Amino acid sequence: EADIYQTPRYLVIGTGKKITLECSQTMGHDKMYWYQQDPGMELHLIHYSYGVNSTEKGDLSSESTVSRIRTEHFPLTLESARPSHTSQYLCASSDPRGNQPQHFGDGTRLSIL
Amino acid sequence: SQQGEEDPQALSIQEGENATMNCSYKTSINNLQWYRQNSGRGLVHLILIRSNEREKHSGRLRVTLDTSKKSSSLLITASRAADTASYFCAGSGGSNYKLTFGKGTLLTVNP
């Protein structure tokens, strides 16, 4: 399995709280991604990065923000959590060359009460 | 726009049987990838087939790609209970090779 880690695995928290989901990889990959996945559904890309200081919004609009200060670290932040943010968030990374697979973490299952 | 659409949505078979899942996509791709997701876990990459390839094998997996029909299939031979998972296809397109996922096929292999 790939060396990409997400914390926490599960988070149940009240409305209005600030949340940061952590994602780290030890493969030295330049490309990193955040996906949102509801149960039994497809993954939607919400953010991606091609390297340090590079961040882009994905195909699905999200109120979350990301930062990429170090190659190995790509945290996602929600400034004020709402019940509509309840979902699973998956982080992935890949080699920058074309035609390369993505390596996924085990995800953070987020529940906002 | 959705790049991958799997068929069937759910498939239940007996151990030892073969499982075939199909995927259709809408726009041109650089490659098509298949992933497996066990319940509560992240995705695991299974196989990647480039747009200029027609068939690829990896162990018990066989993937085909028909770019004229914009479709792909994943065959798992001699299935095992441990193959029980959701299987997703994802099309990689454009100059940035971003992936767009389908809704997935839930495969259940009964012992």
- Relative to beta strand B105-110, strand B85-93 is antiparallel
At residue B64, what is the residue type? T
Q: What is the pLDDT of residue B7?
A: 84
How far off is chain A from B23, nearest CA to CA, in Å?
13
Cα separation values, A113 from A15, A20, B6, B35, Å: 6, 16, 33, 31
Contact A92 B43 (CB under 8 A): yes
- Report yes or no: A17 at the B interface, CB cutoff 8 Å: no
- 3-class SS at B37? strand
Q: What is the pLDDT of residue B3?
A: 55
Mutate to test the interface with A, among B98, B100, B106, B107 (most CBs of A within 10 A): B98
Cα separation, A19 vs A22, in Å, equals 10
Contact B88, B4 (CB under 8 A): yes
Q: Which of A44, A13, A40, A7 is nearest to A111 (CA)?
A: A13
Whether the per-residue pLDDT at A26 is higher than 90: the answer is yes
User: Which residues, in sequence order, are bridge partners of residue B55?
Assistant: B64
- Report yes or no: B106 at the A interface, CB cutoff 8 Å: yes
Cα separation, B72 vs A11, in Å, equals 37
Nearest CA in chain A to B105: A40
Q: What is the pLDDT of residue B1?
A: 41
Least confident of A25-34, B23-32, B59-68: B23-32
Using CB atoms within 10 Å of the CB of residue B78, give its burial: 0 to 12 exposed, 13 to 18 middle, 19+ buried: exposed
* Tokens (6 digits) for B99: 């992936």
Using CB atoms within 10 Å of the CB of residue B95, give its burial: 0 to 12 exposed, 13 to 18 middle, 19+ buried: exposed
- Relative to beta strand B105-110, strand B10-14 is parallel
User: Looking at chain A from residue 70 to 109, which residues have their Cβ under 8 Å from any Cβ of chain B?
Assistant: 90, 92, 98-107, 109
Among B45, B88, B98, whose Cβ lies nearest the Cβ of A45? B98
Least confident of A7-16, A104-113, B33-42, B87-96: B87-96
Between B93 and B87, where is the model more confident? B87
Q: What is the pLDDT of residue A2?
A: 55
State yes or no: cis peptide before A101, omega within 30 of 0. Answer: no
Whether the per-residue pLDDT at A1 is higher than 80: the answer is no
With cut-offs at 50, 70 and 90, classify the pLDDT of residue B4. Answer: low
With cut-offs at 50, 70 and 90, classify the pLDDT of residue A18. Answer: very high
Contact A92, A105 (CB under 8 A): yes
Whether the per-residue pLDDT at A10 is higher than 90: the answer is yes
Q: Which residues of A touch B96 (CB under 8 A)?
A: 50
Q: What is the pLDDT of residue B36?
A: 97
Residue A112 dihedral angles phi and psi, to the nearest 5°: -110, 120
